[in-house]
A and B are shown apart, each in its own frame.
Chain A
Amino acid sequence: MRRDDVDLPISPPHDRPTARYQCGRACDGGAATGMCSLGPTRTGLCCHQSSPCSPVLTASARAQSLVTALVGVGILVVLIGFTLGSSFIKPGPLSTPHAQILSGSMDAKSCAACHPGANSSLMSWFMTGHDAHEPMQTDRCMDCHHARLPRQYARMAHNLSPNQLQAATANAQPVNAVSWKQWLPKPAFAQNDVACSVCHQEHAGADANLSVMTSEQCQTCHQSRFDSFATDHPGWDRWPYESDGIVEFNHQTHSRRHHPGTIDASGNPATFDCQQCHPKTEDQNFAIVSSYEIACATCHDAALRQQTSERMDLFVVPSLGQPDLAVVGRWPPSATGFFDGDVGPLARFLMRDDAVLSDAIESLDGGKLSRVNPASESDRRAAQEIAVGIRDRIRSMAQAGPLPATESASTLRAPLRELLRGLSPQLIAAATESWFENRERPAMFRNASALMNDDDLLSDDLPHDDPLLAPYDSATTLPATDDVATPKRLPTTPSRYDPAKAQPDGGWYIDDVRLAISYRGSGHSDPVIRSAVELAVGLPPEDSVRRDLLSIGPAVACLECHRPPRSQGNMVWQNALPITAPAPSFTKFSHRPHMNLPALADCKHCHAINDNAIDAETTDMTTVSLSDFVVPPHDFLPMAKHVCASCHTPQAAGDDCTKCHRYHIEAPPRF
């Protein structure tokens, strides 16, 4: 095959690469040589006037036009998109909680819920300065979140006031390790200007976690920065020493002595099971303490019943001297002879609204009539005042009910009402009639042959077949002239009511021997004794009524386990919250995820009992000084950080700051 070349004509040189137009006859095969000598003009006109061509755009000119057209169309499309509303410029879906709240058509109003700029004009975006009246974005956030966060501290670090922040800084434990992270830059904002958007970035999708933070980001504001949790994080030697248990309980003595020393029904030592007292709640956390019946009653119920059965006096009629009856008036004969008797704390509380009575009680060292000097006119007068006051109070209670009207507006009205709820005015009226009116008590409270049989001086000492206890037969033993032989109606001695037999479950009763209105408790959680404790705790610590009321036997029995507040306040008998870190703090903890691990099912894995703790029951605490101890004596050993760090590694349970720490403090923390 021959490959001869064909000589083709050289292309005409009139057009230029950068020219916008080229000759229209360039492609005209018939007029190939009819090319214009000068080519088209810049305006696209043919230079050949006689038979002009139609100049066409060069490739570069066409390219420029195409580019311009494409850019114009693109801009037009974008502008059309803007007219469709905020949905076009929305940079992604909101997180589910926010999306649900702002659900509906995505118009500017919804955008304005978070973006102050949504309400402003385009020109205002280019104007410098910020109108002080215009809300900031953080203010928009607080419009919804103000219920949980204080608005005035929304932009403060940790939402704390400057004083609280300063105290937290002073209370912080220093970090000993030196980390390269100390060289990382300081935060890009002031500590009093922390906007919500610094940490919480929206429009990242429905499932985005707005709270995601790296440990480096958390530490950027902190003076001390550390590298890892396991190596540099400060230990928590103070935990659980700062735990706020409501019920006093010594784990060490119970686990090492009391439980092993207690043999159960099967003949085995009782098992010290943590979850018996700290059962799981419905949300798989742990209750602070179980019920008394489950946790404590087995061992403590009998003792408590005995302790609370000790009488608690409301009023005791004091004993006066004979000459004083002329002033006082009718007085029980059994309370006549010499000055005696104490005004109990409850009586003092009920009579304190009377200033004269209060002064009289105060003058006798808190109402101790045994201290009365019969030769002292003032003492006698005070004793008379007290006696009359007690009598009048008892009478008024019999008529108007036990709750004094003067306490109607008092904050202690509630415990006082509960305390006196079961005290019947009829009971008080019967006592009044018997003591002050000398009327006979009902037959049920009397014993007709009471000369010997119910004399407690004899009844307990003589055997039952002793002749002295036999029915007396005057006809066979004594002469007829003997007064003793003549049956006479002897005056009845008031019978000694035994509440232990008559009221085994407790209640109010009248002691005719002591001339007292008293109460017998029924055991654990007795409502009257509880109310008495609550009443006492509601008084100032320096109040003698509080001191004396909390010193009576039943109250002491309660306070052996239930810690009263040190100052005036309310009595909290049981903390029903799950065992977690106190809510208003930087730390958060939940047992629930930890219980998934079999190894951690044993509470003692983390909460090791301190076998070397000081046992107050067997140690002379007067010889012990706190300065002798590195850490305060406590029934638990300090929780070691390595116990947590063994699982909380970056590859395992995670060691981010947010795993255990809060940023937002919803209430003032405790320092």
Chain B
Amino acid sequence: MSTILTHSISLSFRGRRRASIAATLAVILMWVVGAYFVDVSLGRTSIYSGVTLLVCLFALTLIGLRKRLIMLPLMSVSTWVQIHIYTAMFACVAYVIHVPSIIANGYFESVLSWLFIVVSVSGFYGLYTSRTAPKRLTALSTQVRYDRIAWHRDQIVIAAKKLLDQLPETPDRNVLASFYQTHVQPHFVSPVKFLYLMRPTTTKKRQLLGALADLDRYMDARVRQAAGKLAALIRTRDELDYQYAIQFRLRAWVILHAAMSLLLLVTSIFHAILVLGWMGS
């Protein structure tokens, strides 16, 4: 709602952010005061916070529905994302009131607690990575869709082979071919390593390019030109790997966050049913 208002007032992005944060803090404050009132009057604070939390979970999972109901005029997805973010912040506060010890006692309730923590942490991670990853991706020379990265890897292998095949059989060519067979081709055909996915680096690229540069004195001009193109392919492969790592990180986060959120919602409903059934008079 604050986002809608700020849009209509035409605030800057920072202005909209400040207004949203202020509105969220105000809502949190009022809600916490309400929780205090309930506690002081010996009401069921756990019910008060639990119902709030469950409603927040429902609201938070609606963004997935919104992304699939694109034909309905339900505000833009970016607005929904803003609502999602601030609702999640509010839900975290409600959770702390609901479970002051953060991890609840009991098997089932501790599972619930861990699910919420995983979802919350992944949510905050997603907030961070969704703001930083696109910048990294758009800083590259090319943008490739995730599904087509494998096809592009194959194209690099094909292009490299074709490059060497076009060279006549000379000792200079054999130097390049030997280097390609020994170092470059295994790198081109192998999938991206898990450690690279966690922390992409240019180490491999620099190693290969450095080794290729050391072979310059053993090659004539024509082979040297081919070596230059091979270096371009190495760089292209490195960019592809980097694209893959960043996009994989984004997708994995979405999968984890979505799966855990749905699981959290379902188990929360179980929890609510149990509470209503076993709650004292």
Contacts and interface: CB of A to CB of B under 8 A. Distances in A.
A3 B255 contact: no
B151 A27 contact: yes
Contacts of A115: 278, 280
B42 A199 contact: yes
Nearest to B259: A70
Contacts of A185: 37, 40-41
Given A188-B38, A220-B42, A91 B105 contact: yes
A551 to B, nearest CB: 58
A220 B267 contact: no
Interface residues of B, number: 63
Interface in A376-416: none
Nearest to B265: A71
A197 B152 contact: no
A11 interface: yes
A622 to B, nearest CB: 55
A6 B42 contact: no
B233 interface: yes
A479 to B, nearest CB: 114
Interface string B161-176: 0010000000000000
B151 A11 contact: yes
Contacts of B158: 29, 32
Contacts of B30: none
A203 B236 contact: no
B213 A188 contact: no
Interface string A42-64: 00000000000000001100010
B186 interface: no
Interface string A608-650: 0000000000000000000000000000000000000000000
Contact of B274 (A26, A58, A89, A196): A89
Range of interface residues on A (Cβ < 8 Å) = 35 or more
B40 A59 contact: no
Contacts of B251: 59, 63
Main secondary structure of the interface of A (DSSP, over half): loop
A359 B53 CA distance: 87
Main secondary structure of the interface of B (DSSP, over half): helix
A87 interface: yes
Interface string B183-216: 0000000000000000000000000010011001
A8 B155 contact: yes
Interface string B254-276: 11001110110011001001101
Nearest to A28: B154
A166 interface: no
A220 B41 contact: yes
Contacts of B111: 78, 81
Given A15-B147, A26-B150, A75-B263, A196 B280 contact: yes
Contact of B40 (A15, A74, A81, A220): A220
Interface in A71-127: 71, 74-75, 78, 81, 87-93, 111, 114-115, 117-118, 120, 122, 125
B134 interface: no
A66 interface: yes
Given A71-B259, A89-B274, A11 B148 contact: yes
A58 B262 contact: no
A136 interface: yes
B107 interface: yes
Interface centre among B151, B228, B263 (most CB of A within 10 A): B151
Contacts of A114: 280
Given A74-B263, A220-B40, A197 B281 contact: yes
Given A17-B145, A125-B277, 9 more contacts: A3-B232, A5-B229, A5-B232, A29-B157, A78-B108, A88-B108, A91-B106, A186-B41, A187-B41
